[in-house]
Amino acid sequence: MTLTPESRQLLPVATKPSHARGKRVAATCYWKCADACSHPVPNKSANEYFRDIASKAMSRRVLLGGAAVAASAVVVGATVLDQDGAAQATTLGEHGGRWPGHGGPGGQVKGLSFGPIQTQDAAVDAFTVPEGYEWSAIVRWGDPILPGGRSFDAANQSPEQQKLQFGYNVDYLDILPSDPRDQKNMVETRRGTRGLLVTNHEYTNREIMFPAEMDAAKGRAIERAAHGMSVVEVARRREGQPWSYLRVAPRNRRIHMETEFVVDGPVAGNDLLKTVEDPTGTRVRGTLNNCAGGTTPWGTVLSGEENWNGYFKVAAGNPRSQRYGIGTAATRYGWELDDPRFDATTPGYENEPHRFGWVVELDPYDPQAAPVKHTAMGRFKHEGANIIVAPDGRVVAYMGDDEAFDYVYKFVSRNKMKPGDDRRSRAFNKTLLSEGDLYVARFAGDSPAAEIDGRATVPSDGAFDGTGQWLPLVVDGVSHVPGMSVAEVLTFTRLAGDAVGATKMDRPEDVEPSPFTGNVYVACTNNSSRGNTGAKEAATEMNPRNQNRDGHIVEIVEGDEQTGTEFTWNLLLVAGDPSVNGSTYFSGYPKDKVSPISCPDNVAFDLKGNLWISTDGQPSSIAKCDGLFRVTLTGAERGKVEQFLATPRSSEACGPLVDLRDQMVYVNVQHPGDDGSFAAQTSFFPDYVAEGATPAAGDWRGPRPSTIQVYKKRR
């Protein structure tokens, strides 16, 4: 199918003055994260770089016991591969599976076969897939999903209609099977012919969503209705064929700023969460800036409340608010004009910002169930949360705090997952994230500081690597942070991380364990402030590039028990375009044989054990459209990066899902055409008009964030 935008006439790019660099446009930074990168870094702590302990005092073998052999096989893989590529070929399979009943990757399933696409220039408004593949939208912003919902009419949008329609900027996605008992894990699920599509809706951009003449208060109400999450039932004739969404279906649901959430865990009912509207501190209206997420083995979806700070105004001079970057001026969204809770200087609403910044859990199988905010998992700018079941049956969640110089976290449930798929087991498993231990990561490099030159030059021991510790914040219901109660640690978790000396990372976004090895992959998106004059910290072995605009991937190798407090780590990639950027690293794989990749954001795994990375914000050294990339993790091709798709102008690819059983790939396309205006749009995604055709008069001509499916061309 040859699809092109109706018009390639180049419309003016954003005129909004901005710090935005490279491909990411001003409007995206403005609305999505309140220009976080151009504000002073909220982390003012003086944590020291914990460099030397590993090489001087700890032996990996002592730390990890039986896990050491397997761990070091991965950690030194790059070195060995340089000399003898085939020698480390089967590390992955030797670990076996971490999911109950799973024997390891591979089996009968075919890997996805494709030729990597060429990078697409940033101004290209097209969705690009490899030769032999085609794509279509499953559901788009504004598509009606609830009774009473009308077909999308951008010029006449209303808050009431938006609550009945698919929301805006889609991020996390999964398609769960219609029966929760078929939900095995993130790569093994049999989706069948009826499914539940679950997505997040992160933020809105009023400049392209509706006409400038729209009544301002009405526009803000539309925006509140377009935030949140959606559950949409989907159907298809046979497995492997594209899905259609069902306009009316029993489990279709919209979560928005008026949806009631229940708070659970140690902070529920605490004074820190009480407001005049909710004197119990247990009920919250809405969820904000939901970014990435994760699907649990019991068939619920976790969603991270990320840049929620940008929606609140607080009183000046409060260090706890400052650590989260909450402003004291009028907000950009201006919702405080409609609802006093967004102005936390309003008497009685001082605690309202404490009620956001959590991981939320949604049960898509029960449309009546209130979603839950889990306070046991801490409060920060949650990118998402990804779960693995430890061998002893407890569940372990990994989480990143997406801010320059912030931290990586691990949560271990107190109770063990019940393996049954009956109703009672499922109900029990839905309580697992309510109680457990919270840790923050401290990394140590094993190479001398003088060898970390800020340009990602590989140290003389052949790898960016070392050891690390999960530092306890709350364990067995007891605070391990001097001077902070359990409720304070969980509500002001960034400050707790500062106090115990966590390691400052380059914007850790998705943090996801491989279901096959238990190794954990940390997508550090970028940090252009590292090493700058006046910055808190220059390059470290785990963040080895100053002015890190391209990001990198950390691979954490946990002990076999997965729940322990010691780990080893190494870098899988230091991203970038090797042809223009000397400071890249691909685990020793030849740099002239990789697809250029920058700003890794979301990660996922396929059934062969490959890592898939979607990107957000290619820098000026690349200025290409974002995309989805496959990365080989083991064997001679460890570090090989292949671009599978590219998303349209000004957009990013989110929530990748690669289903090898069906040979289908899904992504959410977020903020296409963010650099336009309602009157002069710059993207027409996804409703491109076939070449030579004329759009019907009155057709909406502008971008619609959408869930996209990619599949092999049918003959």
Which residues in this chain contact Ca ion in the complex, by CB under 5 A?
Answer: 291, 446-447, 459, 461, 463, 465, 509, 601
Question: For Ca ion, which is the closer residue by CB, 463 or 500?
Answer: 463
> Cα(611)–Cα(632) distance, rounded to whole angstroms?
6
Q: Which is nearer to ligand FEO, 180 or 672 (CB)?
A: 672
Contacts of 388 (CB under 8 A, 6+ apart): 98, 99, 395, 396, 398, 513, 515, 518, 562
306 binds, among Ca ion, ligand FEO, none (CB under 5 to 8 A by kind): ligand FEO
Residue 599 near ligand FEO by CB under 6 A: no
Query: Among Ca ion, ligand FEO, none, what binds residue 202 when CB lies within 5 to 8 Å by partner kind?
Result: ligand FEO
306 binds ligand FEO (CB under 6 A): yes
Q: Return the residue of 174, 223, 506, 509 that touches ligand FEO, per CB under 6 A.
A: 509
Toward Ca ion, which CB reaches closer, 242 or 304? 304
d(CA 124, CA 121): 6
Enter the tokens of residue 495.
Answer: 């400050």
CA atoms within 13 A on the CB side of 219: 18
Taking the complex as a whole, how short is the minimal distance between the CB of residue 551 and ligand FEO, in angstroms? 11
Q: Taking CB within 5 to 8 Å according to partner kind, which of ligand FEO, Ca ion, none is near residue 139?
A: none
Smaller CB distance to Ca ion: residue 159 or 310?
310
Q: 331 to each of 276, 308, 342, 343, how far by Cα in Å?
A: 22, 11, 9, 9
Tell me the closest approach of the beta carbon of residue 646 to Ca ion, in angstroms: 17
512 binds ligand FEO (CB under 6 A): no
Nearest to 559 by CA among 58, 72, 50: 72
**Three-class SS state of 417:** coil
Other beta carbons within 10 Å of 87: 14
Is residue 465 part of the contact set for ligand FEO (CB under 6 A)?
no
Q: Applying CB under 6 A, does 642 fall inside the site for ligand FEO?
A: no
Identity of the residue, 209 or 291, whose beta carbon is nearer to Ca ion in the bound complex: 291
* Binding of ligand FEO by 406 (CB under 6 A): no
Q: Which does 160 bind (CB under 5 to 8 A by kind): Ca ion, ligand FEO, none?
A: none
Which of the choices Ca ion, ligand FEO, none does residue 459 contact, using the CB cut-off of 5 to 8 A by kind?
A: Ca ion
Of residues 187-216, which lie at the interface with ligand FEO (CB under 6 A)? 202
Nearest-angstrom CA–CA distance, 261 and 41 = 31
Q: Provide the minimum distance between the beta carbon of 18 and ligand FEO in the complex, in angstroms, as a whole number.
A: 17
**Could you say which of 122, 291, 502, 708 contacts ligand FEO (CB under 6 A)?**
291
Give the contact letters, 361-390, x = binds to ligand FEO (CB under 6 A), - = no. Answer: ----------------------x-------
Closest contact distance (angstroms) between CB of 202 and ligand FEO is 6
Burial class of 123 by CB neighbour count within 10 A (0 to 12, 13 to 18, 19+): middle
Task: Give yes or no for a contact between 655 and 171, defined as CB atoms under 8 angstroms apart.
Answer: yes
DSSP letter, residue 193 = T
Site for ligand FEO in 421-460 (CB under 6 A): none
Asked if residue 401 binds ligand FEO (CB under 6 A), the reply is no
Question: Residue 332 and residue 323: Cα distance in Å, rounded?
Answer: 19
Please say which residue, 352 or 406, places its beta carbon nearer to ligand FEO: 406
Nearer to ligand FEO (CB atom), residue 383 or residue 488:
383
Q: How far apart are CA 154 and CA 701, in angstroms?
A: 9
Please report, for residues 32, 74, 97, 100, the alpha-carbon distance to residue 94 in angstroms, rounded to integers and kept in the order given: 42, 11, 9, 16
Closest residue to Ca ion, judged by C-beta, is: 447
CA 476 vs CA 375, 395, 407, 473, 479: distances in Å: 15, 15, 22, 10, 9
In whole angstroms, how close is the CB of 463 to Ca ion at the nearest point? 5
The rounded distance, in Å, linking the Cα atoms of 32 and 448 is 39
| Helix (H), strand (E) at residue 73 | helix 67-75
Residues that bind ligand FEO (CB under 6 A): 202, 291, 306, 383, 402, 509
